[in-house]
């Protein structure tokens, strides 16, 4: 609440609703990670990082949009200069207050990327850490049915 003088000398009280960040005294923050599901023409999934296999991706720094981070990480990790298309999965990880997003990275020619593993979806699921398997399954389903999926701690809710 703030008081100011009006043009005729009387006091006017103004009220303004403060954004929740100002009311709480701090800006809320969530950790955000992105993965990008890239496939070859046979539908095999590209994995990086032997022996710790993963889809291309990583953390989104403050101030960077998730889709732009996904594009940057595709370039940095596999030298693919392309923006991902659809958002396939949102997974809220409660214990870490983190959002894990999976974007569709489209298809590439496997022979152009010999340094990386291309696996059918079931083999890719076996190679990923246990925490990444539900996101991969939801992303594959999202591609198949042209939908986005929402998970919490790897459990599909929508």
Instruction: Indicate the pLDDT class of residue 28, thresholds 50, 70 and 90.
Output: confident
| Residues 54 and 48: beta-carbon distance below 8 Å | yes
Structure tokens at 75: 């370039």
pLDDT (mean) for 41-69: 95
pTM for the whole structure:
0.82
d(CA 67, CA 60): 9
Q: Which CATH number fits domain 26-156: 3.10.20.30, 3.90.79.10, 3.90.950.10, 3.30.360.10?
A: 3.90.79.10
* Domain extent listing, the chain: 26-156
Instruction: Indicate the pLDDT class of residue 18, thresholds 50, 70 and 90.
Output: low
What is residue 119's three-state secondary structure?
Answer: strand
pLDDT value, residue 29: 83
């Amino acid at each position: 609440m703030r008081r100011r003088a009006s043009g005729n000398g009387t006091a006017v009280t103004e009220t303004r609703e403060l954004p929740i960040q100002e009311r709480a005294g701090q800006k809320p923050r969530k950790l955000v990670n992105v993965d990008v599901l890239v496939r070859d023409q046979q539908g095999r999934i590209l994995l990086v990082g032997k022996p710790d296999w993963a889809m291309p991706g990583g953390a989104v720094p403050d101030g960077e949009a998730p889709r732009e981070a996904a594009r940057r990480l595709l370039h940095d990790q596999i030298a693919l200069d392309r923006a991902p298309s659809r958002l396939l999965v949102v997974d809220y990880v409660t214990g870490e207050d983190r959002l894990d997003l999976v974007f569709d990275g489209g298809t590439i020619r496997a022979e152009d990327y010999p340094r990386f593993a291309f696996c059918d979806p079931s083999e890719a699921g076996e190679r990923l850490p246990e925490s990444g398997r539900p996101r991969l399954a939801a992303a594959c389903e999202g591609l198949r049915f042209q939908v986005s999926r929402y998970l919490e701690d790897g459990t599909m809710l929508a």
